Amino acid sequence: MSVPIARSVAQLREIVAAWRREGARIAVVPTMGVLQEGHLSLVRAALEKADQVIGTLFVNRSSSTARLIWPRIRARRRMPPSWRPLARTCVGLCGAFRPGHFEGVAIVVAKLFLQTGADLAFFGEKDFQQLQVMASHGA
């Protein structure tokens, strides 16, 4: 089995477009950090619901993959005004101890959704708080 690797948004969109022409249902497994067995179990679960699965790897803002999300890395990102309700969702979560964390996660995941055009997304239990934030905002 050949697994395509996209190293740019343009390459990713070409791959997804070919899958769409075939009528494929597409899932995305957004990952942050080092790939591990939990991520692979999410890919397996996604393959039960979709024809094709995109696994994304996003490490942090200083990594090379960050340039696809933030073309110009800034010292501090501000949450767009339309995302201000996101801050209310973070109340009671670990966001109180990690200022800006959930806003950053939401921005990255939203961009990954836009870039992949996936029909489904799979998140691990470890990402429960992140999933709660995304689900409460219709992502």
Q: List residues with catalytic annotation.
A: 39
| d(C-alpha 133, C-alpha 76), whole Å | 21
**Token pair for 100:** 């800006």
Residue of 54, 42, 48, 45 whose CA lies nearest to 5: 54
Q: Under 8 Å CB-to-CB from 21, ≥6 apart: which residues? A: none
